[in-house]
Structure formats: C-alpha cells, structure tokens
Amino acid sequence: MERRIAAILAADMVGFSRLVELDEAGTLARQKRHRLELIDPTIRDHHGRIIKLTGDGLIAEFNSVVEAMQAAVLVQRAMIAREAEVPEDRRIRYRIAINLGDVVFDEGDIYGDGVNIAARLEALAEPGGIVVSGTAHDMLKSQVEVGYRPLGEKRLKNISTPVRVFQVTDGPVAPHGGAMQGRFARPALVLLAAAVALGVLGWVWTRPDFTPVDPEEMALELPKKPSIAVLPFETRGEAGSQGWVADAITESVTSTLSFSPDMLVIAHSTMNGYKNRQVNATDVARDLGVRYILSGSVLRSGETLRVTTELADAIKGQQIWSIREDSSMGDLLALQDGISRRVFEELSVSLTVGEGTRTWLERSGSFENYVAMVQGRAEFQKFSPEGHANAERLWGALYRKDPDRANTNYLMGWLFWQKLTLGLPNDPATDWQKAMDFSSHAIELEEYGDFYTLAAILTQVVGQHDEAIALADKAIALAPGSADANALGGLVKATSGQPREGLELMERGMRLEPDYPEWLPASVTYARLELGLYDEARKLAREVLASDMKDVRAKPQAQSVLVVAAVFEGKMEEARKEARKMLAIFPQASAAYFRQIRATHRNQTFLERYLDALVQAGIPEN
C-alpha cells in the first residue's frame, strides 16, 4: 500500500445513456475511436496513466497537476473538431474534473479523498468543460495560461468539508453568460483545435496580448520585488462628468497597495502625470521601471456604478486578470474600499503570498488584521532582533485583540520559536514550551494544516524526528495546496533524514508562493547539496546573492553553498575564492556558526562533510 499526493483527472461522457439509446452502434464506435486516437494517447503523452474505467468515463493519475490540466485542455479542444460533423443532439462531450490530493494505491487500485473529490467534482463541469478543486487551482494558477472563474465552496457527497471549485475559462475572467463559452465552446475554435493537435498548443497559451518590455530597455532598474504602477482610472458613460469618482478610487487603490511590504508601488502623485493621456502598459513600464500595470475604468448607468480593473504583466506582454464590481452611487465609500481591498487580495494571490492570501484573509477576521499580519510577517522574516521586536509588536497586538482566534495563537507560537532561533531568551526551555502551548491551542481551536507545521518544527528542534515527520505529513494531508504546509513540511522532512521528499515539497512551496519566504532558499540549497545536485544548488544561491533579501542569514548561507559545492567537486581554487568572498560579506563566518544553524539535522554525517568543506576552503573553525 502506497500513500502520496497525486493529481487525479476524472472524465465522464455527458448523457451516455441517451446517446446509446439514440444510436448505440455509432456512439460506441465513436467513443472507442476517441479513446484510442485521442484520450488514451494524450494522457500517456502527459505522463499520466488510466487507473479505472467507469463504463462511460475514466479516472487517471498524473504526477503533475500541470500535465493533467494540459491533457484535459487538449482533449476538450480536440473533441470540438472530432464531433463537428455529428448532429448537435448526438455529439459526444465530456465533463472533466481535476483534483490534487491524498490518494492510496493498493494492488493496482486507487482510492482516497483525492479520488473521491475528483469524481464528485466532475458532475459540476459543463458539457465540454473542465473544473478544478481549490488545491489544484493553487498549483495551476501561475503555471498554465488559462483562466479560472470561482464557483465558491461546494458540499460534495460523502466529503466532510466544503471544497473550493474553479471553472476553467477562455481567459483570466470568464464570461458571465454561458458557463463554458470562449475557449472550449466557440465553433470558430474547431480550426484552432486542429492546430493544437498539430503541436501549436504551447504558443496559444503563451502568446502576448501586447508588446512585451525588455527590462534592459527600462529607464530605471527593475526592482527585485513585485513592482506595480496604478494608472489613473478612466471614466466612461454617464460617469464622464464625475471624474472625481475615478480619481478617488485610483488614490484608494494605490494607498491600500502601499500597505503591503512585499510590493513596490509607484506613488499616486507620480501616476497623476498620466491622467488624460493615451498610454499603454508597454510605455508606462519602460518609463517607470515596473513589471506590472494596473488599469481600470468607472462606468455609470443611472444610479449604478461598474468598476473594472485589469492587471498586466509588461515583461510577458499579457493581461493576468480582470475583476469587476458593481455598486450604487449612494454607496461610494463602500465601493471604494471594496475595490481597493479586492485588488490588494488579487495582487497578493498573483504576485506575493499566493492563494494562501484568501485563507489568511478569512482567518484574520478583517482586512485590517490581515494587513497587520502581512506587515508582521515581513518583519519576522528579517530574522534579526529588530525585526523580531517589530513582529512582536504587530502580532502581539492581534493576539491581545482576539486571543481565542486560532491564527493569532499560531503567530504567537512562531514568535517564541524565533526567540529560540535568534538566541534571545533567558530561559530557552520555557520559551520552547510557550511556543508549543500556543501551537497546540491553535490546533485545538481549528484543525488546519498550516497550524501543524509549527508543531512539526518544534518537535523536530528537540530531536523527535519521526514524530515531526508525522506532524508534517498531517499538515500536508490537511492542506496539500498550502505554500506554508509544503515548504515547512518539506523543511521538517529534509532536516529529519528525508532530503529527497523534503526537497520536492519545499520546491512545491516555492511555486505556490510567488514571493516565497526568505529562509526557504537556504534549506532548498542545503538539500540539493546533500543529494549531489550541485548545479541546481549554485543557481539558487546566486539568485539569493543577487537579490535584496532582508533575512540576515540568507546571503551568508547562499555564499556557503558556492564554497561547499566547489570543494565537493574538487575545485579547490574556486572554493578558496568563494570563501574569501564569504569572509568579505560576513567576517564572523565560521564552521561553528553553520554547525549551530544545522545542529538539529538528523544526517550528522553529511553535516560534518559540509563543515569540513568550509574549513578546507579557508573558513575558520570557530
């Protein structure tokens, strides 16, 4: 019996019984051809395998949710062309659902909630359409260039908790009319489907919407963190005579985005210079040295206002998403706040924290609480006494405001853990116990995957590696799409003697959170060194050294990777050169310092080899 996280694709023919009744021989013959010529080969080509056949449908398993989605889109597009000559009432169409979850493989069979959710979701898809679960969407959002329309949380038969569901659409925002219009349902796409079958699918997904910008051509150096310019919102229709409404919304959006410590936002006064000018995203990005351009419009019809907002990636030359909000003229302040917070949420999802933004917004209780949590997180991740004090001020205020909320207890637990890590406490044992108490209380209040990660870290710190792995597995099983559950669970596994499994999870965490935490690269590179992946370790280390990371440990650890990798490969002259660079940027570097950082690692043999490599290259022992 084997248990693991897998991408599950469930497909079912629409109206199978009716089609068989109308034309049994023709329907079964066409179904067989579709399977042999399209569906089965497409699944195989995308490294999937069919686990179960369900008469008129199937269950397939993929190692990658991205490949599962690519296979699903290709099948649905090609089916349009394959059934184009069949009368409308006799056409074969499939519903497809994709879920990422925990599954069990036993003697050739597959079962578990991961499979059950996919099978239940399939019925929610439109004929010829695709739906995905929230966990699959979290992994897919930045990986495959299709759009998603949220359908909300759905109660599924025999599934205890509601499941977030997203419908795959033609672009970043689905039409509000028919469910699977556009990409899968337009007759004009018959020709496109045929072209896809000839191998141009990748180009269709990545084609630019406007002229991309070369960062080398920008007037200013592109910042390392996500950078954004908010163009003055336009007024349309009856709103044309009330430009102050658009101005107020523009200023509110800019001000709200400035709350995020993870984004660089061009000042509102600078952007006012673009008012009433015909400009495009390419020119603005080139002038200001930013990657993302937010634009919007205000349309009035009678007493109704409609605000539409779009985010564009100037380097890719593509629109990322578009959102729309309606309100009455009598509720302008609420509309202004609502748009500003919605944009903040969507940008956090797209550019910084990832899909976990929505979860933490909900758990924080209010937008203001969420902003304080994010600001505290930025301070916490500096891993300095000053950063800790600022995080303690922000998170402590949240806890005092609501001590019976699970997430405030979770944050307090991390503060006491960080005191241990920084060597701040007078009584480490007491602070470790306080951290564990807060962690346990958070889990008592709400059994959420991320909360188990802190318990896993604290358990691993005291050398209880097997127990820590079990807690990490629990966290990932409860929240397989959570960036923190994957990254922290992976850290625990890698530290506790499972570097390959841990590395895979940490890398998944990096994909889920665009602006991943600054502690993560050091743990990823260490695991890569342990597994002999020296080139991959060096590549990430150099990215860290070229960044503006605030974590005081990040660059010394990245430089140590370059030293150790060179020694492991017998390149001693290069190793000594990298060691001199380390002592220049971190004069107090020593093998003892790095021993302290990695003291809780289960594989002490590799740790000694790592430390010995530093000493061989010229780093002092103490």
Q: What is the DSSP string of 310-342?
A: EEEETTTTEEEEEEEEEEEGGGHHHHHHHHHHH
> Given pLDDT bands bounded at 50, 70 and 90, which one contains residue 174?
very low
pLDDT of residue 92: 93
What is the C-alpha separation between 407 and 102, in angstroms, rounded?
25
- Residue 329 confidence (pLDDT): 64
- Mean pLDDT, rounded, for 433-460: 93
pLDDT at 410: 94
Question: Percentage of residues in the chain with pLDDT exceeding 70?
Answer: 89
Query: To the nearest whole number, what is the mean pLDDT of the chain?
Result: 83
Query: pLDDT at residue 109 above 70?
Result: no
- Spatial separation of the C-alpha atoms in residues 346 and 350, rounded to whole Å: 6
pLDDT grade for 107, boundaries at 50, 70 and 90: low
- Check residues 319 and 521 and name the one with the higher pLDDT: 521
In degrees, rounded to 5, the angle at the alpha carbon of residue 341 between the alpha carbons of residues 338 and 343 is 105
Say how many Å lie between the first and final Cα of the chain, rounded. 48
Q: Which two tokens stand for residue 618?
A: 């010229």
Q: Which fold has domain 215-351?
A: Rossmann fold (3.40.50)
Q: Where in the chain is the domain with CATH 3.30.70.1230?
A: 2-206
Say what the pLDDT of residue 355 is. 64
Residues 118-136, mean pLDDT to the nearest whole number = 89
pLDDT at 495: 95
Asked whether the predicted pLDDT for residue 198 surpasses 50, the reply is: no
- What kind of fold does domain 2-206 have according to CATH? Alpha-Beta Plaits (3.30.70)
- Higher-pLDDT residue of 367 and 435 is 435
From CA 56, how far away is CA 34, in angstroms rounded? 12
- Amino acid sitting at position 330: G
**Does 186 have pLDDT greater than 60?**
no
pLDDT > 50? residue 420: yes
479 neighbors 485 (Cβ within 8 angstroms): yes
Q: Which residues of the chain does CATH 1.25.40 include? A: 518-622
Residue with tokens 């003229």: 329
Averaged over 117-121, what is the pLDDT? 89
Burial class (CB in 10 A: 0-12, 13-18, 19+), 249: buried
Least confident of 253-262, 368-377, 447-456, 601-610: 253-262
Residue 170: helix, strand or coil by DSSP?
coil
Given this model, what pLDDT does residue 241 score?
A: 53
pLDDT band, very low/low/confident/very high, at 144 (cuts 50, 70, 90): low
**Element spanning 102, H or E:** strand 94-106
Give dist(CA 13, CA 95) in Å, integer: 6
Given a contact cutoff of 8 angstroms between Cβ atoms, the answer to whether 61 and 110 are in contact is yes
Asked if pLDDT for residue 617 goes beyond 60, the answer is yes
Q: Which pLDDT does position 503 carry in this prediction?
A: 94
Average pLDDT over residues 392-418: 94
What CATH architecture does domain 518-622 belong to? Alpha Horseshoe (1.25)
pLDDT of residue 224: 79
pLDDT at 202 over 60: no
Chain centroid to CA 61: 21
pLDDT, mean of residues 300-314: 80
Residue 325 confidence (pLDDT): 77
Per the CB < 8 A criterion, the answer to whether 361 and 370 are in contact is yes
The DSSP H or E segment spanning 581 is helix 572-585
Say what the pLDDT of residue 194 is.
37
| pLDDT of 139 above 80 | no
Q: How far apart are CA 333 and CA 338, in angstroms?
A: 8
Candidate from 7-16, 354-363, 490-499 with smallest mean pLDDT: 354-363
- Tokens 């015909």 sit at which residue? 278
The answer to whether residue 437 scores a pLDDT higher than 80 is yes
Strands 130-133 and 147-154 turn out to be unpaired
The per-residue pLDDT for range 524-540, each reduced to its tens digit, is: 999 999 999 999 999 99
Provide the sign of the torsion angle of the four alpha carbons 73, 76, 79, 80, taken in this order.
negative
CA–CA distance, 68 with 11 (Å, rounded to integer) = 12
Beta bridge partners of 521: none
Residues present in the chain in total: 622
pLDDT at 201 over 60: no
pLDDT tier at 143 (50, 70, 90 boundaries)? low
Per residue in 215-251, pLDDT tens? 888 888 888 788 899 999 888 765 445 667 788 888 8
